Structure 1
């Protein structure tokens, strides 16, 4: 009896240790809930659907003619003779350039003479286009350039608009990343959608370029905030074997949106209608986005165990699975919520290394990505065709990524795709502008590898850092990516010194990032780390925890 009592006490002690030191974590329970069941699929589709319209944000920036055929509006002379032909009106009111063409930015100063005096003496004093411009036949019905007269002395505002949009995305990532750590993934996903809806509508109705700049800034803030949060919310519900699907499906629907954008702009050709299209789509999204669930992993990390349990039971029911009550009772509770934020990363030299390698990679890849994207009108082909090709080439890249990530892992694919993208980019320097097919092929090939590599960065940043700072790290990663997009239009200015400088710079950065990938660990099929120690160890947390507790078998009693 004494031996039996001793063994019973030993069993009870072991069970107490299990419930205090090694309670069931989210990865274990997710195995019972279902790693990628109907619940996760519905959540993923709902969260990724808005990414179909992310590319529409850039529609008013890309589908423009920066230097359209035009001349100053000189209808003032029709008061002197309303029967003047167009050729006579232009000959009398516009100076000519050295090549004999009419000036695009200058006109003769209006006078109160009669038409006979104007014909006899002519006009000599010039001024800027005081009454706006008359535009010739353009590829589009209306663009921000023609509506806001972003020509001549206002032409630089086109680059400013691009920079403001990217700055908004950076601000959105900076604001809503840490916001999600404190207030939850759900709220940090819902609020940006509302912001996008409101300012997409105001963008379409802007009376001048200054209101347009403000509206685009807030559209960028909402878009950046949503993009950084929707992926995290989806992947924190997905098991280790299918986690890469979260990032890949997000990019896949974005690629579909790129293809759709080419068709929409080809048919509409009016930037205001394109913005209203975004607003209509987001009006639908705002309705259902309020019903998405919170991340149970985040709830556990914040110590809100009961709410997490309820969500896990609902998720299991949708997946037609059952979570044992005994397992739910062992759900681990985080007694000490990490409030240090990004400081957690900087307390570990290993995490610092991972952090800056991923940030540099995301920056470099996006500098190259956007430099090629913003310059796609210079390849000699139809901009609609190139836009369609850019979107279409992303689809096989992402589908291959979804498969090969689980076969070869993250590290080797990141190195291969980053180096291949940088190589394709630098090879464009060896091709003459007289070979548009070769240039387009290299640019499309570079985009193929760059989008592939960017998706791996998105997976790396989630799998390398603990739950308490995962959202903040992802936000900084997205900020780095958008900073690359912000630098891309500014980098093109260096072409005034030598045409090869921009391509050399962004290609070199991408190649360097690819080589730095050798310093990253492999994270394939590893449970998401919950603490700094787990992140530094880069181990399978679930397996390690199970092996750490000496369970007693019933036969030992």
Structure 2
């Protein structure tokens, strides 16, 4: 009896698998909600420098009575790059000459301005309180908000390493992996527990070491093979798979968190924008699963990453005035990144043998979280040119998607259990190519 048949007997789809799914899905839902809450708790409201003529009652009383707030704002705050009141500078002294109908808004010099030495005034009509307004994380201090996002995501990475070990106490490990790595007793107990929860008591009582050993003849013969990170990077049949899949993981974390943690730059109404992304994400995930069954893993992986990158790069060319088109491209790009994540999660598990599958997935998760840490920091490039962050966010998934084309297709193939299985797949693929396109070798004279 093969080991796959033994798994079917203990129950391949039952109460045990359902409980495992719930145990995984519920914490992930809360985690994702917390990951994106910074769009609201850390939103940047409209702001300008505090100026006495507008914000000090004493100065208002002594100022010209005939002037309204708009006129006082014009003589107190210079125009910014967006043709509105400058967010980070104010006039040292009121520029009364700007009230002349023949004067222009550019009739002032940089020397006539100064930073917001007395603080800022924030528009609290949309966000009554945010960490940005609370701690003045604007202008020269705006880098601190970006740093806080990266530090939070670094904490997620460290927490995953620490609490991943703790979760082993209540999440069952792969019985096949336990048995292949020589933990026969623990693997037997896991299988018995699965059979008991799935209501297969007769199968549980019949499970013995002898039954397992007979079902794992081939698997146990390679139980002493190296299963560390070095094997993934040094084995010829696995090196390319490891590098290409890890790059796909990195591209997801880098691009998704770089964009999704700063939705204000993509659309003015982030409440509607967030709801729209969430609503469209459900059919996108369902559709991606259907496409994976019909089209294949490699094609969907490459297409989703490349399309996401092209949507982001297209926004570099779209004028800011075309807000709806920019929002549509942003939504499409984010949804494609979500499809890429769904695909790489499934694809990675099929690319690597059982003895190395969790190591490869762990490496991919580390790459994704490392990319997530770097993603928000790329927004700092906007100080040099506003389009630089989008150029980087778009280029990375395009290059990663093209790299995914180097991976083998795994659709409808059995999961490899050993390194030899992976190498055999490569040999079969090369043999099939040779039969389709025979090569005639000749000696040179």
Q: Normalised by the size of structure 2, how large is the TM-score? A: 0.73
Q: How does 1:313-328 map to 2 (within 5 A)?
A: 313-321=192-200, 323=203, 325=207, 327-328=211-212
Specify the alignment match of 1:466 in structure 2: 353
Q: Give the deviation of 1:433 after TM superposition.
A: 1.6
Specify the alignment match of 1:69 in structure 2: 47
Three-state SS of the structure 2 residue aligned to 1:330 is helix
Q: How does 1:258-277 map to 2 (within 5 A)?
A: none
Whole-angstrom distance in 2 between the partners of 1:438 and 1:301: 53
Q: Give the deviation of 1:461 after TM superposition.
A: 2.0
Q: How does 1:236-315 map to 2 (within 5 A)?
A: 291-315=170-194
Three-state SS of the structure 1 residue aligned to 2:124 is coil
Give the superposed CA RMSD.
Answer: 3.7
Q: How does 1:86-485 map to 2 (within 5 A)?
A: 87-88=60-61, 96-98=76-78, 135-172=122-159, 175=161, 187-189=165-167, 291-321=170-200, 323=203, 325=207, 327-328=211-212, 330-332=214-216, 334=220, 336=223, 341-485=228-372
Q: Give the deviation of 1:349 after TM superposition.
A: 2.0
Q: Give the deviation of 1:35 after TM superposition.
A: 2.4
Q: Give the deviation of 1:52 after TM superposition.
A: 0.9
* Residue correspondences, number: 383
Q: Give the deviation of 1:300 after TM superposition.
A: 1.6
Unmatched 5+ stretches in structure 2: 65-72, 93-113, 427-445
Three-state SS of the structure 2 residue aligned to 1:303 is coil
Change beyond 3 A, Cα 1:392–1:521: same
Change beyond 3 A, Cα 1:493–1:101: closer
Q: Does 1:47 align with 2:34?
A: no
Given that residues 238 and 352 in structure 2 are in contact (C-alpha distance below 8 angstroms), is that contact kept between their aligned partners in structure 1? yes
Q: Does 1:531 align with 2:415?
A: no
Change beyond 3 A, Cα 1:302–1:366: same
Q: Give the deviation of 1:398 after TM superposition.
A: 1.1
Three-state SS of the structure 2 residue aligned to 1:156 is helix
Change beyond 3 A, Cα 1:89–1:419: farther
Q: Give the deviation of 1:89 after TM superposition.
A: 9.4
Change beyond 3 A, Cα 1:337–1:330: same
Q: Give the deviation of 1:331 after TM superposition.
A: 4.2
Unmatched 5+ stretches in structure 1: 1-22, 79-83, 109-125, 181-186, 191-289, 540-557
Whole-angstrom distance in 2 between the partners of 1:526 and 1:170: 32
Whole-angstrom distance in 1 between the partners of 2:395 and 2:116: 43
Three-state SS of the structure 1 residue aligned to 2:405 is helix
Given that residues 24 and 327 in structure 1 are in contact (C-alpha distance below 8 angstroms), is that contact kept between their aligned partners in structure 2? no
Deviations 1:112-155 (A, max 9, x none): xxxxxxxxxxxxxx99757x766452522332223333234432
Given that residues 254 and 372 in structure 2 are in contact (C-alpha distance below 8 angstroms), is that contact kept between their aligned partners in structure 1? yes
Deviations 1:313-343 (A, max 9, x none): 3322333445364744524374855565101
Deviations 1:143-191 (A, max 9, x none): 2223333234432201111221233334445x35xx96xxxxxx3436x
Specify the alignment match of 1:255 in structure 2: none
Three-state SS of the structure 2 residue aligned to 1:529 is coil
Given that residues 394 and 447 in structure 1 are in contact (C-alpha distance below 8 angstroms), is that contact kept between their aligned partners in structure 2? no
Given that residues 363 and 482 in structure 1 are in contact (C-alpha distance below 8 angstroms), is that contact kept between their aligned partners in structure 2? yes
